[in-house]
Structure 1
Amino acid sequence: MKNEMTIKQATERMVDIDLNAIPQVLIEKAYFENDNFESFRNVTPLYDGQQVTYDNEEYTVFKTEEYEENVILTQDGVQMVEVEQYNIEEYDNRPLYPMWSTVWQTSNTLSYWIENNMCTVASLGFQIYECDDLDGFILGIDGAGYNFYENHWIPLYKAQGLKWHTQD
């Protein structure tokens, strides 16, 4: 008999295999209590459809490419302005840490996929960090009080095109 998994079971397996949970307090102690905060960086890019603040007005990011410096902002579907990412206030003022008290270090395989799909990962609600002392990326979820599997992990599983499940 074949081992059958639901998509949730397959996603739980992905989380167990490809991610290592790290209590956020360890990151704080290692990098921020020792004034080593330059070694831990939020590298989350802007993504298509993201809401941002620019010149004290709300805009929608219209189009971005991975690692592109400029983005086009729209207001009510009309192209408004092309700006450099670092000039967008809401983007620059994002919190250093995610709200949840755990972050996850990625495996090499998942890190490679994330590196080539950073806008997709950001659009799934993840903050993406790099750390000089750890391989791969660190993922954080800026949210609480809802089902992370339904809102973040299963969409990440699907976005990678994984087919470990036999049932939805």
Structure 2
Amino acid sequence: MTNAKMTLKEAVQKWVGEFNAVPQSLISRAIKNDIDDFSELTKPTAGKMVWSNELQGEFEIVSIENEVAILDVDGEEKEVDVNDLHLEHEEFLPIWGTMWRFGSSLDENWTRENLEIVSQCGFRIYEDHEENDIYIGIDGAGYDFYESHWTPLYKARGLQWHSNN
């Protein structure tokens, strides 16, 4: 199939197919001895639950703009510096059993420069400090990952496809 006849979904599938899928069990075993070499880079985004040191509680983010987060605090909106917030996750790694490394250093570098955008696409982002690699994972299951995550990431990345229309 040539690029001129490729649908958006096919282009996204081809792009994601170039990534390296890594079973999370391998990552878990690798970081067991030195968890400090593996850190999460995911940024807080609207709709996520976060812990606020300033407000001493867990709240949902209504919106974020210019490093200021608006939190829903018992039905009232409160402004907090985004650097005060910590994402709340049940587990250190995403619940989906696979994580991915990009097949291209261009994608990896773009991700490092656009952590908030990648986070907004629903990915959790990690860095292996020893290898200087970026891993992404999905904290979800039971729905279409292409529609919910991969296609928005593809579009945010600014990648082009040519439809057959």
Deviations 1:107-165 (A, max 9, x none): 31111111121111101110000002334310000011111111111111111121124
Q: Whole-Å Cα distance in 1 between the matches of residues 49 and 15 of structure 2?
A: 30
Shift in Å, 1:61: 5.0
Distance 2:164 2:29 in 1: 42
Tell me which of 34, 37, 49 is aligned to 2:35. 37
Q: Residue 125 and residue 147 in structure 1: after superposition, are their counterparts in 2 closer, same or farther (change >3 A)?
A: same
Shift of 1:63: 2.2
> Do 2:96 and 2:138's aligned partners in 1 also have CA atoms closer than 8 Å?
yes
Letter in 2 for 1:98: P
CA contact (8 A) 1:50 1:123 kept: no
- 1:62 is matched with 63
One-letter amino acid of the counterpart of residue 101, structure 1? G
User: Which secondary structure state, in structure 2, belongs to the residue aligned with residue 128 of structure 1?
Assistant: strand
Q: Could you state the TM-score of these two structures normalised by the residue count of structure 2?
A: 0.81
Query: Identity of paired residues, percent?
Result: 35
SS in 1 for 2:133: coil
SS in 1 for 2:163: coil
Q: Partner residue of 2:100? A: 104
How many residues align? The count is: 159
Checking the alignment, whether the CA contact within 8 Å between 1:5 and 1:165 is kept in structure 2 is yes
> Is the contact made by 2:95 and 2:140 (CA closer than 8 Å) also made in structure 1?
yes
Pair 164,75 (structure 1): closer, same or farther in 2 beyond 3 Å: same
5+ long unaligned stretches in structure 1: none
Q: TM-score, normalised by structure 1?
A: 0.79
Structure 2 counterparts to residues 10-49 of structure 1, below 5 A: 10-17=11-18, 19-32=19-32, 35-48=33-46
How far off its partner does 1:92 sit? 5.0
Change (3 A) 1:10 1:93: closer
Q: Which amino acid aligns with 1:29?
A: R
Instruction: List aligned pairs for 1:144-155, cutoff 5 A.
Output: 144-155=141-152
> Structure 2 residue aligned with 1:156, among 130, 145, 153?
153
Q: Indicate the SS of the match to 1:137.
A: strand
Is 1:9–1:165's contact at 8 Å kept on the other side of the alignment?
Answer: no
Distance across 2 between alignment mates of 1:100 and 1:57: 24
Alpha-carbon RMSD across the aligned residues, in angstroms, is: 2.7
Equivalent position amino acid for 2:6 in 1? M
